[in-house]
Amino acid sequence: MSANQAAESNLLASNQQKELEDLPKDCLLSTSEDEGDSDGERTHQKLLESISSLNGKDRQKLAERSEASLKVSEFNVSSEGSGEKLVLSDLLEPVKTSSSWAAVKKQLNRVKSKKTVELPLHREEIERIHREVAFNKSSQILSKWDTVVLKNRQAEQLVLPLSKPPSAFAPIEHVVSSWKAGTPLEQEIFNLLHKNKQPVIDPLLTPVEKASLKAMSLEEVKMRRAELQRARALQSYYEARARRQKRIKSKKYHRILKKGKAKQALNNFENPAAALEELKKLDKARMMERMSLKHQNSGKWAKSKAIMAKYDLEARQAVQEQLARNKELTQKVRAASESEEEEEGQEEEEEPLVPDMVNGVQIKANGLNPWMLRNHFSDAKEAEVQKDLKDPAEPEAQETSEIEEERAVVEEETLLKEFEERRSLRQKSELNHMAEPVYRRVTKDPSSQEVLSELRALSQKLITENHQSGKQERSSARTAQREEPAREEEEPVLLQRPERAQTLDELEGLGREGCVENKELPRTAVEGLQLEKNLSNHIGAPKEKKRKEQMIDLQNLLTTKSPSMTSLAVPMTVQELEDREEKDQWHMTKEAFAGDDVITDFLKEKREAVEACKPKDLDLTLPGWGEWGGMGLRPSAKKRRQFLMKAPEGPPRKDKNLPNVFINEKRNIHAAAHQVQVLPHPFTHHQQFKRTIQTPIGSTWNTQGALQKLTMPKVVTKPGHIIKPIKAEDVGYRSSSRSDLSVVQRNPKRLSIHHKKTSGE
């Protein structure tokens, strides 16, 4: 700074010097005027001299100076009146007495107060000063960014770009207006457009279109639009629904849907015209079927299924189903007026057409799917089967009656029923294990023990009766049906042990809660069985025998599944049941770890580890030193004692007083490989570091909000957005209104100096 000031003072001094140089002329003038009157003689003399000096020689003479000159003086002091001798007393006199000296004195004083002007600074020095000043100035300007920079560096999150960019998409009109057709082709296109008066600005409508728009009244347009909207909404709704329905994977659902449609078609029969249509459709379907033989078990799939059918129940069913479908389709459709009896007659006629050996199952000729029948009318069919067993000679009458009943049931209902059944079955299989303890509870209930024994005897009888009933004939279907529930109970009995079977019967008798479930439990198996039976029916093999075989089979199967059931104690209540389960769990674990004694193992392990950790004694005896050595000779006990270095006792173990705990005091090398060895840089204390590591940030330990805060990225950028350099406006500063260019152009003087300088170099 001091240098700068010096420079400035220098500049000032040089300026003043110029002023001084300007001064003397004025001085001269003033003095000559002042002295005009008093020194008239002297001026006259002067004049004469000057005239004489016009002569060349004299002028020469005048120019030369021998003493302090008349006109010129170093300090611009004019020495007018030098003809007289200047006496000191004159100088000492006060200034006012002689006005003629005032000017001189003034000048003298001025000269006295001034020092000599210093030399101007070297150019480089000046430049240096300029630079320094400029640098300080710009540093000052830059330092306003300090807070912003610091804030941005420490920010939790920096979202870039800082300022919201204006929408980059210009409206089409602007783009079009600024664009001009360049190529001939483009020009041609534009010509065409202009010819059609196609406007290029919004709204892009030709005059014709505008006119047509105007032609429609507002109300009309509104109505039309509303209509269109509604239609569109409806369409989209239907589309969505159709899509949704199409996406449903359940085959059954679709089957139901189809059936529903079929029913609808049937309903259509009420209307004669529609009925005709439907009939035609059916006829066509029949023709197609007969032509294509699509469902004749002749396809690839059907053949493969036929092979599988021998072993696989489901495959067999599928084949059946297909055949039934064929039958259904190829059936000739009649007018609705025809009676049922005739239909039945027809059925009976058709029946022998179906090859029994192929189908396996007796196909009901009433058009219903036999597979479905079997499944959904299991009750009815069971009865039927029984009858088949009992009385193969007279199936006809009963069958017909049953068919009548079945027809009464609506198709949908049957399907729903099927669903229900399936569901319950699944649940039951889940509940299986839960239900079983309940049986047991019943069996061992002490209070009902006598009753049970009674019932047991009764049920025993019943079973035997049932067995015998196979040989007996029953007259009416009603009785068979009444018998049916009993049989239904009987089936599971057959599947299980005799004891259990009795209890089940008793359950039925006692009507206890929970028994309802029990009853239904083994139905699936029963159904499977019945199917088997059904199949065997028509082959005509000795039915009783087969049935017994199957019984045995299933028994085997189930008994292997539940080996430890009877051996367990029976809980009294639900809670006890739970307790029991826990106990079971415990027992199971105990059984599982029966072989190994964990506790002793642990103790042993600990003892070994402690031993291993203990410092070892060091034996330094060297055999053969100071005594004989060799095979069979050991160093003497004394010597061994002497050279045995006792290891010092280590510090007491941390787990000394904790019998159930084993603290490993050795450092785990494997873990150490994963651990941080040195405190990393930004942390100043290990606690600090530990804390950051121990705070979990995952969603397992943090709420959604906290997670978002914790996992916030440091810098967020928008893909596809240009991030511009930070601006003063972005951070709330006022940017300088002056442009850099204008500032440069305002100092042309200095610039020109610099420019000259540089160009000079």
Where is 644: in which H helix or E strand? strand 644-645
Catalogue the long-range contacts made by 651-655 (C-beta closer than 8 Å, 24 or more residues apart): 653/610, 653/613, 655/606
Query: Distance between CA atoms of 355 and 362, rounded to whole angstroms?
Result: 10
The count of other CB atoms within 10 Å of the CB of residue 418 is 15
CA 219 to chain centre: 49
Q: How far is the CB of 736 from another protein (least distance, A)?
A: 9
What is the DSSP code (8-state) at residue 731? Answer: G
- Tell me the C-alpha distance between 315 and 732, whole Å: 80
**What length is written for the chain?**
761
Question: Is-contact 387 477, C-beta < 8 A?
Answer: yes
| Burial of 70: CB neighbours in 10 Å, binned 0-12, 13-18, 19+ | middle
Q: Which is nearer to another protein, 150 or 221 (CB)?
A: 150
- CA dist., res. 306 & res. 355, Å (int): 14
Please list the alpha-helical segments (H only) found in 250-395.
251-268, 272-292, 300-309, 313-330, 340-350, 356-359, 370-376, 378-390
Residue pair 309/531 in contact (Cβ under 8 Å)? The answer is no
Least Cβ distance, residue 506 to another protein (angstroms): 30
How far is it, in rounded angstroms, from Cα 460 to Cα 552? 18
| Closer by beta carbon to another protein, 1 or else 215 | 1
Nearer residue to another protein within complex by CB, 192 or 743: 743
Nearer to another protein (CB atom), residue 139 or residue 339: 139
Contact assessment for residue 425 and residue 472, using Cβ atoms and an 8 Å cutoff: no
CB of 195 vs another protein, minimal distance in Å: 22
Choose between 172 and 676: whose C-beta lies nearer to another protein. Answer: 676
**Cβ closer to another protein: 303 or 426?**
426
Q: Are 153 and 709 in contact (CB under 8 A)?
A: no
Q: Which is nearer to another protein, 48 or 706 (CB)?
A: 706
In the complex with another protein, the residue whose CB is nearer, 94 or 680, is 680
Q: Which CB sits closer to another protein, 563 or 680?
A: 680
Question: Residue 196's CB: how many other CB atoms inside 10 A?
Answer: 11
Residue 202: how many other CB atoms lie within 10 Å: 9
d(CA 387, CA 362): 15
What minimum distance in Å lies between the beta carbon of 484 and another protein?
33
513, 365, 379: which is closest to 438 by C-alpha? Answer: 513
Q: Which CB atom, from 264 or from 699, has the smaller least distance to another protein?
A: 699
d(CA 197, CA 202): 13
Q: Please state whether 165 falls in left (phi above 0), alpha (psi between -120 and 50) or beta.
A: beta
Q: How far is the CB of 726 from another protein (least distance, A)?
A: 5
* Token pair listed for 426: 């699944």
- 388 closest CA partner among 539, 223, 217, 594: 539
**CB closer to another protein out of 179 and 625:** 179
Cβ proximity to another protein: between 172 and 715 the closer is 715
Among 639, 611, 614, residue whose Cα is nearest residue 624? 639
- Residue 714 has, within 13 A of its CA and on its CB side, a CA count of 4
542 preceded by cis ω (within 30°)? no
| Nearer Cβ to another protein (339/684) | 684
Let me know the angle formed at the C-alpha of 409 by 383 and 336, rounded to the nearest 5 degrees. 120
DSSP 734: P
C-beta closer to another protein: residue 45 or 736:
736
Q: What is the DSSP letter of 541?
A: -
Structure tokens at 569: 């104690």
